[in-house]
Structure 1
């Protein structure tokens, strides 16, 4: 990747830099895994007809990278002077829209038709701030383009969505994550075993940022990045461990299932949310009836909500295993 050399005066040693920044694509064509999005964005840039944009999707899928790449494509070396990045989760109030955004939009500049304001995590803006943003987008549409990034587009008010071209960034595919991992490993001179690559892909779950961070952390641990190292530094359970826990519950051995859960939470250091995520990803692979799988997914949703609301992780997960054991007994 052309961004192998970090921007600025950072030292050349790979372990002294943050790799997610060092290997962040600088051009749209370098972005991996979004073949349906990149060509459309390139056409906007090539035709000098950039509309307001709304990028929606999970974390680590390239929304910020795409925004910065657009600015680099349009402004070249001047991109920082013409690109304002704000994080709405830190600055949620209406004053941010009225002050910082308006001051930047009003500022004089030359040589370009417009400047770009990138508002990250825009779904964290209050309703009043979004209403003010809508009016600001109208007022400065002649010289400013807005790029909004969010996890959930449903949290953005309709008047803003209707003013934007909406792009939905999905979780990155395994091929895209693997290609990036192997490219970075080759550049840094790191040996990554095949099972290490598979473990990085599994732990990342479509999040490129998580995959690169895990690779950098694992590279410090030894000469070869392998499965054992990756699962240890990412606090991720092996798929077979999660499956074994569920299998115990299915077989009616709740004591063994509870002991397996205790190992994941206490000895391995997993959070309850991590266990839920892995259960959800593997649910259809368990050797249980379709009805039991549907019940498991239903209970996962309930447990996830209760933990988010502050309930005890251990209590809720034990109740889930007990429910699965009881459901299996009822089917027998």
Structure 2
């Protein structure tokens, strides 16, 4: 759900040349067969974003009414944060995106010099006007939680100074690493992990577009392994397709290196019904022959145990002990 903190009341030129390899955002290039599906099927408009309709509708309304505030989008990876703000930029600027949007991604420096030089230079230039409506510029800071504290304090001052001509969109995974002074100047939106239904729908769209042969259990495995991360599910789908003509449950698990559900059931049976020495030996043998990671086995076994019917007090005890 959207949590609105403070929205600036102020009403909403070509940028300077980059001097450190920073890029002004441009229109997406023509897709080729080599294009990763994460980029090939990235939503181009707000209507195409897979989920979070409450957040999308709120941002859409604010931009339509020319009341766009500074934004802080936070949440786990692959939940649509970057896709949402890029769709907003396309809606606001259209073909003029390359003039009106400055994007600093994860590979850029995040020190105080970048804020004082590049961001401030871009924000201080005169905005274009499209028809009768003056338009603000947009500065997109992806992975803003990687910025130093000094850079964040400097950015706070830049935001205050250039609010009339520029809007800032901060994207991060950990909102606790953003200083309170920046948070209070932005409207915050939390992007939760995607529901399985939304991941399933988007995967079916990609499967149809690419003409893939995916079984029902293969699709279920893709959704399950994604854990609400749309980017992860598309990467798994594409890598599995490159390794196997038919995408089945076994093909998906083999491609990702995760233990199959039947293997987890077998391991759980050994742990519950056989002596420790015997079960340890069998699990070690399976781990070595199938190339499984111990952390994956432990995680999947834990999830399997929690799905077993048991008294509520036992379930609570297991949950608490699994945290330590």
TM bucket (normalised to shorter chain) is: 0.7 to 0.9
Question: CA offset at residue 284 of structure 1?
Answer: 2.1
8 Å CA contact retained: 2:241, 2:247: yes
8 Å CA contact retained: 1:89, 1:125: no
8 Å CA contact retained: 1:88, 1:125: no
8 Å CA contact retained: 1:250, 1:288: no
Question: CA offset at residue 245 of structure 1?
Answer: 3.0
SS of 2:171 mapped into structure 1: strand
Does 2:94 correspond to 1:65? no
Does 2:224 correspond to 1:192? no
The answer for the alignment partner of 1:234 in structure 2 is 256
TM-score, normalization: structure 1?
0.80
1:279-316 CA-to-partner distances (Å, cap 9, x unmatched) read: 554452135554554444444433xxxxxxxxxxxxxx
How far apart are the structure 2 equivalents of 1:77 and 1:173?
A: 33
How far apart are the structure 2 equivalents of 1:289 and 1:127?
A: 48
Alignment counterpart, residue 119 of structure 1, candidates 120, 141, 162: 141
Alignment counterpart, residue 159 of structure 1, candidates 181, 193, 203: 181
Compare the two structures and name the one with the higher helix fraction: 1
- Compare relative contact order (CA 8 Å, sep 6+) and give the higher one, 1 or 2: 2
Question: CA offset at residue 192 of structure 1?
Answer: 0.9
Identify which range, 143-152 or 245-254, moves more after superposition: 245-254
Q: Superposition pairs for residues 175-254 of structure 1, below 5 Å?
A: 175-251=197-273, 253-254=275-276
How far apart are the structure 2 equivalents of 1:200 and 1:44?
A: 35
How far apart are the structure 1 equivalents of 2:113 and 2:302?
A: 41
Does 2:125 correspond to 1:104? no
SS of 1:166 mapped into structure 2: strand
The answer for the alignment partner of 1:135 in structure 2 is 157
The answer for the alignment partner of 1:9 in structure 2 is 30
How far apart are the structure 2 equivalents of 1:99 and 1:254?
A: 63
Alignment counterpart, residue 68 of structure 2, candidates 50, 71, 77: 50
Question: CA offset at residue 199 of structure 1?
Answer: 0.6
1:63-103 CA-to-partner distances (Å, cap 9, x unmatched) read: 11011111001001112322222235753322222222112
How far apart are the structure 1 equivalents of 2:102 and 2:281?
A: 51
TM-score, normalization: structure 2?
0.81
SS of 2:323 mapped into structure 1: helix
Q: 1:31 to 1:81 in 2, by over 3 A?
A: same
Structure 2: runs of 5+ lacking an equivalent: 1-26
Question: CA offset at residue 261 of structure 1?
Answer: 5.0
1:137-174 CA-to-partner distances (Å, cap 9, x unmatched) read: 11111111111111122222212111111111111111
Matched residues, number: 294
